[in-house]
Amino acid sequence: MSPDLALGTYRCRDIPQAAAQAIACGTSWIDTAPNYHHGHAQTRLQPVLAGNPDLRVSTKVGFFTPDLATAAGDAGVLTPAEAAPGHCLTHGYVTWQSRRNAAELGRAPDIVFVHNPERAVRPHDAITRAFSALEAEARAGRIGGYGVATWTGFDGAFSVADLLRIATRCGGPGHHLAAVQLPVSLVMLKPVAQALDGTGPLAEATATGLDTFISAPLHGGELPAMVTDDLARLIAPGHTRAEAALRVTASTPGVKHVILGSGRARHREAAQRVLSLPPLSDKTLHEVIDVLGA
């Protein structure tokens, strides 16, 4: 089954317009966070979500803007010491941020991701505190479920198995851990190599029924300029450089949702076409890894 294309709001200049274009192209999922777009991403999504009740949305807890830090401090859930790193995963802060997310979105988010817990001094302890808070929110019906969105966490800070063990401790066998989010691209090829071998976070998540969301498939828009014509031809003759790069991500086993931040209709239409194509062969993916290294 082909992965579907989600809208990411991290780099969107005009979030309502990008969301409208994404919905017109068939997007059914939007990914956001309270610190995106200078702290305004969620409120700018609210009318879009209100007008599209079937649209699904994921957001995050962890990072905050200076204004959010002030509000959390005034609410008594964030001390100056906790605010200093710009990232916090205490039980009280996660609960407060999760409820504020829902208020800004105007509805309960389908998934709340714990954002880059590898930043914590003791990631497993931070994840445990966050999962405990989010499990309570899920049981109360204030969120649909939770997960972890990470950049480098699966490189040794924790594994999918660790996340499942922590979720089971916090919520029992009926826990609400639902998904993981991680980067997969021509720059971040390690998850591709692992997935081809049946190992790593994508294989582990798929085997245990967790949803998978892929961030930065074009590495913040930088990849098309980095891909050579020879590499694009190796991947998929006739594709543009951006399409070739995206095809690798979409062809990786275990990828279910690809998050793309472009607000331009023609870019999303091209991406939708790429994701609808049959996956590249394992042989081609191995050749790409041999050329670039994992």
- Helix/strand/coil (H, E, C) string of 102-165? HHHHCCCCCEEEEECHHHCCCHHHHHHHHHHHHHHHHHCCCCCCEEEECCCHHHCCCCHHHHHH
Would the pLDDT of 48 be above 80? yes
**Cα–Cα distance, 161 to 204 (Å, whole number):** 7
Q: Per-residue pLDDT tens for 97-138? A: 999 999 999 999 999 999 999 999 999 999 999 999 999 999
Predicted confidence (pLDDT) per residue in 132-191, tens digit: 999 999 999 999 999 999 999 999 999 999 999 999 999 999 999 999 999 999 999 999
Main-chain phi, psi angles of 111, to 5 degrees: -140, 140
Average pLDDT over residues 56-81: 98
Question: How large is the average pLDDT for residues 74-82?
Answer: 98
**How high is the pLDDT of residue 247?**
97
Total number of domains constituting the chain: 1
Q: In percent, how much of the chain has pLDDT > 70?
A: 99
Range of the domain at 180: 4-292
- What pLDDT does residue 264 have? 77
Q: Is the pTM of this model over 0.95?
A: yes
| Rounded-to-integer distance, Cα 159 and Cα 161, Å | 5
| Residue-wise pLDDT tens digits, 237-284 | 999 999 999 999 999 999 999 999 976 788 889 999 999 999 999 999
Quote the mean pLDDT of the chain: 96
Q: What is the pLDDT of residue 267?
A: 86
What CATH number has the domain bearing residue 17?
A: 3.20.20.100
pLDDT of residue 294: 66
Measure Cα distances from 46 to 15, 16, 19, 26, 112 in Å. Answer: 10, 9, 11, 19, 16
